[in-house]
Chains A and B, each alone.
Chain A
Amino acid sequence: GQQLNQSPQSMFIQEGEDVSMNCTSSSIFNTWLWYKQDPGEGPVLLIALYKAGELTSNGRLTAQFGITRKDSFLNISASIPSDVGIYFCAGGLWGAQKLVFGQGTRLTINP
């Protein structure tokens, strides 16, 4: 089945640093989504992307839908302690009515 390769698997950064993570696939997707999951909680949708080349921001978060439709990245600027958590990318195909998830990026911030 389809798989998403998400990298890096984990990041250890200093507060205030910028963060970048990405997902790649061998096949195309029509939708790219980025979620954040805090311990003991369900994933929360951060950004949804629907068009190839689309660049969307949500506060300090910016995500882009790759022009080839096979990749997406998420950037976090000026990280703060509450950014700690696990970030998941997910790809969707119109009509397939299900998402494929990446393996997750665990973000740890040193104060």
Chain B
Amino acid sequence: SAVISQKPSRDICQRGTSLTIQCQVDSQVTMMFWYRQQPGQSLTLIATANQGSEATYESGFVIDKFPISRPNLTFSTLTVSNMSPEDSSIYLCSVEKDRAPDTQYFGPGTRLTVL
């Protein structure tokens, strides 16, 4: 498995502001992902964070709204920009260990409330 930490664990933000969420892994991993989980819902993939290049976004998610950085193989950030109450969700990062394809391990999540 992998030990994954996220900061902050939760936050309450005002409409129109931005929040950057950090994800740190205890070992180098090739694949890192960011998910959104709206209240009472399943997990939806936002993007794949690529080290050294632009993130790969899923349909319905754009870089201007969710810019992602991946400066190295153990760290990534997701920014939720110009927030509205509809952005209130749990944001989760996950990693895939190189020797177990398609097997992802999740961080504890960041619970975001936008007022």
A residues engaging B (CB < 8 A)? Answer: 1, 30-31, 33, 35, 40-45, 48, 88, 90, 92-94, 96-99, 101-104
Contacts and interface: CB of A to CB of B under 8 A. Distances in A.
A101 B42 contact: yes
A76 to B, nearest CB: 20
Contacts of A102: 42
A106 to B, nearest CB: 9
B107 A99 contact: no
Which of B41, B104, B108 neighbours the largest number of chain A CB atoms within 10 Å of its CB? Answer: B104
Interface string B43-78: 111001000000000110000000000000000000
A99 B106 CA distance: 12
Given A33-B103, A98-B48, 11 more contacts: A41-B108, A42-B4, A42-B107, A45-B103, A48-B103, A88-B42, A90-B104, A92-B103, A94-B101, A97-B31, A97-B102
Interface string B34-45: 000000011111
A99 B104 contact: yes
Contacts of B94: 42
Which of B41, B102, B103 neighbours the largest number of chain A CB atoms within 10 Å of its CB? Answer: B102
Nearest to B103: A48
Contacts of B42: 88, 101-104
Nearest to B9: A40
A44 B94 CA distance: 11
